[in-house]
Structure 1
Amino acid sequence: MSMSKNPLNRNERGSAAVECALVLPIMVALIAFTLLFGRLFWHYTVALKAAHDAATFLAMSRLAEVSIDKTDLGEIEIAKIAKSIAVTEVAELNPGSGATPVVDVSCDRHPCIGTQVPGEVAVMVQMKMFDIFLSGVTSDIAGSEGILLSAEVRVPYVGN
């Protein structure tokens, strides 16, 4: 019995390696960008909640705490407490590269110095986030200076 060579039974040992070489970079890029955007949205959500909590605290503070007349025109104590609330809430984040979040508190778009009762208070949390896991893959999109996240919450002052 003679075995005829069928073109369909050719040797396919190297085809799996070629398929893996073609698909693996695409899969690594998909995983890298999924991790990057997941961390990005997580950091932004935490920053937004911190800004919301601090702004709500400041907006509901008593009138006597907000309208204090300071002689040095420095930030009023209740604004410092609101800032520390936001800083504490974002302290658990690890944006990478030693970056620290910046928290800014304002009353009627000016620093809260207590000279008058504000109509609106705002808290802004800003930070730069770096890809700490797959920076070699995502550096073209994220950049070496990081992605700037800015969460700002403005609420009317309702204190009594």
Structure 2
Amino acid sequence: MAKHQQCKRRVQGLAAVEFFLVLPLLLLLLAFPLYFGRYCYHYSVAHAAATSAANYMSKVPLAEATNTVKAPAAFGVAREIFQEMTSDLRTGGAPPLVMIDCVQHQCGGNAKPNFVRVSVEMTVEDIFFRDITQLSLPIFVTVTIPYRGR
């Protein structure tokens, strides 16, 4: 009977050693899906925020869009819309870079712009397993919408 218990303890000890040898691999296999899920979430939020900012800019009245004093204020509101929608994101790196401009004709110029474009650049770092994976991927989002202001 004592020999049976001794053998049982050895098998349990061996199972514990195997578990701790395999544990880093299991954590690594968990790290990648978590990171890419987080990356996709950040991309979708950035795209939605850029779309909302571009929609706002596309509906700014023509009198404001062609006014050199009022156009920067409209840009500021669009930037605030983007920042409000992305305020909960934790990229782990620098804050997102947001560029808002009018295509084919300058906002704040004399001519009516044809399109409004919002471009976003950000980097998403792995905040869960940073020391192990050192993952860091960029996100680039560009939304271009026809100008509809009157």
Runs of 4+ in structure 1 over 6 Å off: none
Question: What is the alpha-carbon distance in structure 1 between the residues aligned to residue 104 and residue 20 of structure 2?
Answer: 55
Does the alignment pair 1:76 with 2:72? yes
Question: What is the alpha-carbon distance in structure 2 between the residues aligned to residue 89 and residue 78 of structure 1?
Answer: 17
Question: 1:16, CA displacement in angstroms?
Answer: 1.1
Alignment of 1:81-160 (within 5 A): 81-97=77-93, 99-108=94-103, 112-139=107-134, 142=135, 146-160=136-150
The percentage of aligned residue pairs carrying the same residue is: 36
Question: 1:13, CA displacement in angstroms?
Answer: 3.5
Task: Render the CA deviation track for 1:135-160: whole Å, top value 9, x for unaligned.
Answer: 11211xx2xxx321111111111122
Question: What is the alpha-carbon distance in structure 1 between the residues aligned to residue 96 and residue 106 of structure 2?
Answer: 18
Q: How many residues align?
A: 145
Question: What is the alpha-carbon distance in structure 1 between the residues aligned to residue 105 and residue 97 of structure 2?
Answer: 17
Alignment of 1:10-29 (within 5 A): 12-29=11-28
Could you list the runs of 5+ residues in structure 1 that have no partner in the other structure?
Answer: 1-8
In the superposition, the TM-score normalised over structure 1's length comes to 0.77
- 1:122 alignment partner, SS class: strand
Question: 1:115, CA displacement in angstroms?
Answer: 3.3
Question: What is the alpha-carbon distance in structure 2 between the residues aligned to residue 101 and residue 133 of structure 1?
Answer: 20
Does the alignment pair 1:60 with 2:59? yes
Question: What is the alpha-carbon distance in structure 2 between the residues aligned to residue 16 and residue 111 of structure 1?
Answer: 69
Question: What is the alpha-carbon distance in structure 1 between the residues aligned to residue 108 and residue 84 of structure 2?
Answer: 22
Does structure 1 retain, via aligned residues, the 8 Å contact 2:104–2:113? no
- The aligned amino acid for 1:118 is P
- The aligned amino acid for 1:157 is Y
- The aligned amino acid for 2:58 is A
